[in-house]
Amino acid sequence: MRYRVVAACVLMMSGWGGCATLANRKTVNVTVVGSLHRFHLDPIYGFSLNDLQSTVKALQPQLLCLEVDPQDEDTNRVGLYPPETVVLKHLARELFISSAAVDWRADFKTYKELSPLVKASVDQQQKELMDRATKSVAGKYDFFISTPAKQLIQKIHDTILKKDGEAADGFWITRNSRIAERCMTEARKIQASNVVFVFGVDHQYILEDTLSKFPDVKVNESSIRHGDPTWVVAQEIVDEWKNRLSALKELQNSSADPMLQKRVEQSGRIKELELFIRSAAFAL
């Protein structure tokens, strides 16, 4: 028994404060909400920006952890992150909720391209995922957060990790581990007992699994709010999207950092921001 206690203490000290503080900790309820990026604007998916905000409101978090790397948050690179993070940060201010940028990205220079065989396999698996989402009677978003979809998404990442290594998958394991650690560190700082992560829906399976290994964390299923295909955002949100778009275009046109140019191009955020801005104008 003594050896088991020592082993547990060693485990807890990696990212969760160790045995010295465990007795004083209360359970932290954590919910991971999968976001859809540009597909929030597509009614077929059934999870609009209004639905996303309603879901977060209903969960009543004390801390909202967002898909932005803190080292990029106050720079011209912040546009590389999902447009819905602007909406969520604005929502957190409105509701007096703490929010934190907790994403983690490795140096882009260390990334690897997929090998041709792995890319072909991944393309086929992604097609299967999308085909099943289209055929789902529950709706596309409900399918993406279902257990079968999570298993398919995990299979895609496992294929890349096994064949081409983590550098070909954006350092997927490391990234999600760091995301969980960063958010829970912030939760400890403010003594939050109810925490919500909002990350791309493909993160949901791995964040839930990673967080379930934290000793004082209870991972809950999110209660998704549906049924509001319309959406309107404040002008300051649209202005922030425009600022991000302008900054990304400058980065894309600059020859100072070719690797950053490539990152901007591969992210697809310029087209995505343009879509959000056009859609907002129509909504207004």
Both tokens of 203, joined, read: 């993160």
Which pLDDT score is estimated for 257?
A: 87
Report residues of the chain scoring pLDDT below 50: 1-20
Q: Between the CA atoms of 87, 93, 96 and 102, what dihedral angle is there, to the nearest 10 degrees?
A: 70
Max Cα–Cα distance, the chain, nearest Å = 65
Query: What separation, in Å, do the N-terminal and C-terminal C-alpha atoms of the chain show?
Result: 64
Report helix, strand or coil for 194: strand
Q: How far apart are CA 129 and CA 126, in angstroms?
A: 5
Q: How many CB atoms lie within 10 A of CB 14?
A: 9
pLDDT tens digits, 110-152: 999 999 999 999 999 999 999 999 998 778 999 999 999 999 9
The structure tokens 């990026």 sit at: 37
Which pLDDT score is estimated for 24?
A: 62
Which pLDDT score is estimated for 2?
A: 35
Q: What does each C-alpha distance from 78 to 62, 71, 116, 177, 191 come to in angstroms?
A: 24, 9, 31, 21, 27
| CB of 269 closer than 8 Å to CB of 200 | no
| CB of 250 closer than 8 Å to CB of 77 | no
- pTM, entire model: 0.89
Q: Positive or negative CA dihedral for 273, 278, 225, 237? A: positive
The structure tokens 């791309």 sit at: 200
Q: How far is CA 217 from the centre of its chain?
A: 19
Which pLDDT score is estimated for 4?
A: 36
| CB of 63 closer than 8 Å to CB of 192 | yes
Closest CA to 198 of 54, 72, 46: 54
